[in-house]
């Protein structure tokens, strides 16, 4: 790791101020991606602004048909939350499958979506459940938040503060983990809103989380795994590596989507 300067602000406002003053500052939340990246000397921020402990970023609240999760809430807290399990069990199950138990006790929701790793799980939840992201400056619809590989709609210095997940009528998440890293080779979140709107969001398969309109239409007409028979995404734009070709990932998208529907019930 290159040398860096660590800061621990007392508030979001102070964090934003520290960030703006830094030559090349970065927010540190759980650090479960940033610190390994810095250890490999692939990132060299001049300053680290640690928002992991900020009280105003913590907590899970359920009410008004929405599960709202503070950006600093750890994956393990989401996975272990009885409130989440009651309202959106698929969200708790997704959190339970991120990384490993130790990573889950440090890694945060805000850190995950702000980083937007193409193989991260949470982007599938944000898009697949039609969530809304609140930042230090504004609110951003989940559909507009993820803009490309490791790219988001966040401006310089903008800090994610919370994510509001509408409680769906049904939702399910199915993940095929990479055998080495345990990231998603393919992860699919499906949901049917209380208004009947269907969402199918895929992570891991492409450069960025994406929706599958053909599957959404089929499921809107017939909410069952069988409805997805014969519906596949094109392999043309999918990721390929030593663990899986684009063609194989395309197959997994359909298989995982069907399993997610089955899990949703």
Quick one: 35 or 85, whose CB is closer to other proteins? 35
Cα gap 30→53, rounded to integer Å: 9
CB atoms near residue 60 (< 10 Å): 18
CB atoms within 10 A of CB 105: 16
* Residue 235 touches other proteins, criterion: CB under 8 A: no
Q: Which stretch binds other proteins (CB under 8 A): 9-17, 139-147, 155-163, 245-253?
A: 245-253
**133 vs 263, beta carbon nearer other proteins:** 263
Smallest CA-to-CA distance from 231 within 203, 257, 196 is with 257
**Contact map string, positions 114 to 143, toward other proteins, x by CB under 8 A:** ------------------------------
Which region among 13-21, 59-67, 101-109, 127-135 touches other proteins (by CB under 8 A)?
101-109
Q: For 132-170, give the DSSP string.
A: EEEESS-EEEHHHHEEETTEESPPTT--EEEEEEEPPSE
Sequence length of the chain is 265
One residue of 100, 151, 155, 229 binding other proteins per CB under 8 A: 100
Q: Is 225 a binder of other proteins (CB under 8 A)?
A: no
Separation in Å, CA 172 to CA 6, 92, 265: 39, 10, 8
- Taking the CA atoms of the chain, what radius of gyration do you get in angstroms? 18
Q: Which is nearer to other proteins, 102 or 138 (CB)?
A: 102
Instruction: Tell me which of 101, 148, 207, 213 binds other proteins, using CB under 8 A.
Output: 101
124-154 CB burial, b ≥16 within 10 A, e <16: bbbbbbbbbbbbbeeebebeebbeeeeebeb
Which parts of 1-20 interact with other proteins (CB under 8 A)? 1-6, 8
Residue (24 or 155) nearer to other proteins, CB: 24
Residue 28 within binding range of other proteins, rule CB under 8 A: yes
In whole angstroms, give the CA distance from residue 205 to residue 210: 9
Rule CB under 8 A: say whether 40 interacts with other proteins. yes
Of 28-36, 141-149, 160-168, 211-219, the segment contacting other proteins by CB under 8 A is 28-36
- Under rule CB under 8 A, residue 59 binds other proteins: no
For residue 18, the minimal CB distance to other proteins (Å) is: 14
d(CA 135, CA 7): 20
Catalog residues that contact other proteins under the rule CB under 8 A.
Answer: 1-6, 8, 28, 31-32, 35-36, 38-40, 48, 50, 52, 76, 80, 99-103, 105-106, 176, 179-182, 241-245, 248, 251-252, 255
């Amino acid at each position: 790791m290159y040398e860096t300067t660590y800061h621990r602000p007392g508030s979001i406002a102070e964090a934003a101020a520290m960030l703006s003053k830094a030559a090349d500052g970065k927010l540190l939340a759980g650090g479960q991606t940033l610190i390994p990246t810095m250890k490999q000397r692939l990132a060299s921020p001049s300053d680290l602004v640690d928002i992991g402990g900020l009280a105003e970023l913590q907590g899970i609240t359920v009410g008004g048909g929405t599960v709202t999760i503070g950006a600093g809430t750890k994956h393990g807290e989401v996975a272990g939350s009885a409130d989440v399990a009651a309202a959106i069990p698929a969200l708790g199950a997704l959190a339970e499958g991120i990384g490993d138990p130790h990573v889950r006790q440090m890694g945060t929701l805000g850190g995950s979506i702000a980083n937007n790793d193409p193989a991260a799980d949470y982007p599938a939840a944000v898009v697949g459940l039609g969530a809304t992201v609140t930042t230090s400056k504004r609110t951003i619809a989940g559909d507009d938040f993820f803009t490309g590989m490791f790219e988001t709609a966040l401006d310089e210095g903008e800090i994610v503060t919370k994510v509001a997940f509408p409680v769906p009528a049904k939702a399910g998440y199915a993940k095929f983990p990479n055998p080495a890293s345990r990231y998603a080779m393919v992860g699919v979140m499906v949901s049917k809103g209380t208004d009947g709107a269907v969402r199918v969001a895929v992570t891991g398969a492409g450069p960025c989380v994406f929706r599958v309109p053909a599957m959404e239409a089929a499921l809107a007409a017939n909410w069952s795994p069988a409805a997805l028979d014969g519906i596949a995404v094109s392999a043309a734009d999918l990721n390929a590596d030593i663990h899986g070709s684009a063609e194989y990932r395309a197959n997994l998208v359909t298989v995982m989507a069907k399993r997610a529907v089955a899990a949703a019930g």
